[in-house]
Structure 1
């Protein structure tokens, strides 16, 4: 297990380095830069010489390889740089905006798991067997819904038509209902697809027939024997869905006008604030790596067969 963790940590470090390098190069090839956008404004009345001094002060004209290593070593020490547009360290912006995005993402993921389990349970109930084919097609419908369209549709339905959830001056809890639902629905679709497929496969295994022959109820078989084994592939997919979850949270924050990393990213894109964009990319990549590392640690604990497989591999 120790060798496995070391190997996975090493792979995670390589992923973070690749994410940093690719994002750095892509952000550097953008036309213009944040210094020119902010200071090359006629209202400021700055001369070309003064603008050149500002570019020198911000290091915008230093060679690309120096900027690369300076930014890399700074991030290794927890320094994400300085936001030119906001005039504050990027770490301060992340500290003030990241909790809102995390609360939305965590609540959305929890609801997505509940929706996937509910759909899988309903699809395997005998009294709903005539609707089983329709229930199996629901995830395909969910996954095809664009996040921005779903958010607008939910606002139109629940706020303007039914008037159940206010969009003007809502309470903190009310302000999370529709955004969380917008994030959860697309994420629940692949989880439900994998779970439904795994349930169908596990139900054909001999131990399920043995449990049924012993007189166990269908619900007991489903939750005690089938779901426990079928959830393992869904757990792996759940870790891979982190990137989509973060992207959905960013779009949702923009649609609903919420504060968070989404709004911060939108402003940084408009102003080409490279330091902020680089920090957002690295925070997202770090979250992706940590979640997948956690899944890799949990899988052998939930499925003892993986211990044997890893031992044979060594």
Structure 2
């Protein structure tokens, strides 16, 4: 009985953490839905116009009034808000005001492209950050100074400026890559780099100090005493230690990549949630705006939970606590 008590307590703690994270995820989705609902209504104009062709439709007063009654836009704002929350709780995202198509169908057609872009950009950002961190921490003071400067510059680059520069360099001048999305692998290179380079700068910044600290940590000294080479210590121990804060940051990075898709998909004429959101905001298509934002927030929450679990598995201190328990 007493021997099983620690595992029982550990299971309860695990269930408690999972419950807290799920509750936090629900809260985030509710907050996103609430902010989106009221923010879209702060945009000047009549939301009923979206159902009749947009702000420039020149619809008659009678037609606008019929639309308001049909879609409940004549109700008080709080009544509309409660009605929308009720539909969202049932999984009903509604019908696009401008396209007259179910929002779930629109999201299904556009979600894959944006997720592919974000996932590839996150992978490339990690590869760039690892390469830069290893090189700058093993090459002496000059490499360290150069690496630190590259990290700072990369993390500070605006996406719209970086995308324009990459198009000018690799498309206009060198002619190596297409300036817009072509549907193939070549059309993904510049959008992925535009998203990945700033994120790589952030990841490299948070990995540099932990990797330097790991080289003089007790476990590194013990590994060296056992005959471990410097490269072996770096790959087997140092990177694992240094990657924990970067893994924690990856959840935020994925959200940054999803939001950055609005700019990147517009610059490179690439279909996806970003362009869909921009077009929906322009015509005040509330159901589409709400659906895109909620799906993006849900993807962010899921990746954040995965990153949190991965960080616990990578952290050597957590591993030792699990063993001793």
Q: Same fold (TM over 0.5)?
A: yes
1:98 and 1:27, CA in 2 relative to 1: closer, same or farther beyond 3 A?
A: same
Matched residues, number: 311
2:235 is aligned to: 223
Distance 2:33 2:57 in 1: 34
In the TM superposition, what whole-angstrom CA distance separates every residue of 1:152-192 from its partner, at most 9, and x where no partner exists?
10000000101111236845111101001111101111111
1:118 is aligned to: 131
- How far residue 300 of structure 1 moved from its aligned partner, in angstroms, is 2.8
1:42 and 1:300, CA in 2 relative to 1: closer, same or farther beyond 3 A?
A: closer
Distance 1:42 1:157 in 2: 38
Are positions 1:105 and 2:118 aligned together?
A: yes
8 Å CA contact 1:40–1:51 kept in 2: the answer is: no
2:37 is aligned to: 24
8 Å CA contact 2:40–2:281 kept in 1: the answer is: no
1:10 is aligned to: 23
Partner residue of 2:275 out of 233, 241, 263: 263
- How far residue 242 of structure 1 moved from its aligned partner, in angstroms, is 2.1
8 Å CA contact 1:71–1:81 kept in 2: the answer is: no
Partner residue of 1:205 out of 205, 210, 217: 217
- How far residue 251 of structure 1 moved from its aligned partner, in angstroms, is 0.9
1:218 and 1:43, CA in 2 relative to 1: closer, same or farther beyond 3 A?
A: closer
Partner residue of 2:89 out of 50, 67, 76: 76
Partner residue of 1:237 out of 244, 249, 260: 249
- How far residue 241 of structure 1 moved from its aligned partner, in angstroms, is 1.7
- How far residue 114 of structure 1 moved from its aligned partner, in angstroms, is 0.6
1:300 and 1:161, CA in 2 relative to 1: closer, same or farther beyond 3 A?
A: same
In the TM superposition, what whole-angstrom CA distance separates every residue of 1:266-309 from its partner, at most 9, and x where no partner exists?
11111111111111221121112111122222333333633787
Are positions 1:140 and 2:152 aligned together?
A: yes
Q: For structure 1, which runs of at least 5 residues remain unmatched after alignment?
A: none
1:183 is aligned to: 195
The answer to which of 43-52 and 195-204 deviates more is 43-52
- The structure 1 segments of at least 4 consecutive aligned residues displaced by more than 6 Å after TM superposition are 40-45, 307-310
Aligned to 1:167, what secondary structure does the other structure show?
Answer: coil
2:176 is aligned to: 164
Are positions 1:85 and 2:114 aligned together?
A: no
Q: For structure 2, which runs of at least 5 residues remain unmatched after alignment?
A: 1-13
In the TM superposition, what whole-angstrom CA distance separates every residue of 1:44-91 from its partner, at most 9, and x where no partner exists?
785422321122112221222221122112112221112111111111
1:46 and 1:32, CA in 2 relative to 1: closer, same or farther beyond 3 A?
A: closer
Aligned to 2:209, what secondary structure does the other structure show?
Answer: helix
8 Å CA contact 1:9–1:293 kept in 2: the answer is: no
- How far residue 125 of structure 1 moved from its aligned partner, in angstroms, is 2.6
TM-score, normalising length from structure 1? 0.91
1:68 and 1:308, CA in 2 relative to 1: closer, same or farther beyond 3 A?
A: farther
In the TM superposition, what whole-angstrom CA distance separates every residue of 1:22-56 from its partner, at most 9, and x where no partner exists?
22122222222342255388997854223211221
8 Å CA contact 2:114–2:261 kept in 1: the answer is: yes
1:296 is aligned to: 308
